[in-house]
Structure 1
């Protein structure tokens, strides 16, 4: 099996020294809580919060388990 030279033309060794890099950076600035829908500011560090309080986290769990029990 022979290797075909990459696009861009060969250099002195016979192979192309073309290097392609791309960087994508998206930053999450704000999202809403899963249960109440209120906006929560995201600090940019760590995992973004899904619930504003333990009570809302529990209510969401109760709704999920009640729906799956039907």
Structure 2
């Protein structure tokens, strides 16, 4: 037996409600992930800056060293 127009419409409304809930949940997940990605990006930049500082502190220019004693 063929479903009535009203039954079909009700079924579509129910499906749309589930889809709407799913989209809202996924939007929350995406927003959380975006926030986390931004935090990780900020942390990466901080670590890069720190690494550059450590590298420059550990490296030295040979011109800064005193000449050997035989000069």
State the TM-score, normalizing by the size of structure 2: 0.24
Larger Rg: 2
**Of the two structures, which has the highest relative contact order with CA contacts closer than 8 Å and spacing of 6 or more?**
1
Greater strand percent: which structure? 1
State the TM-score, normalizing by the size of structure 1: 0.24
Greater helix percent: which structure? 2
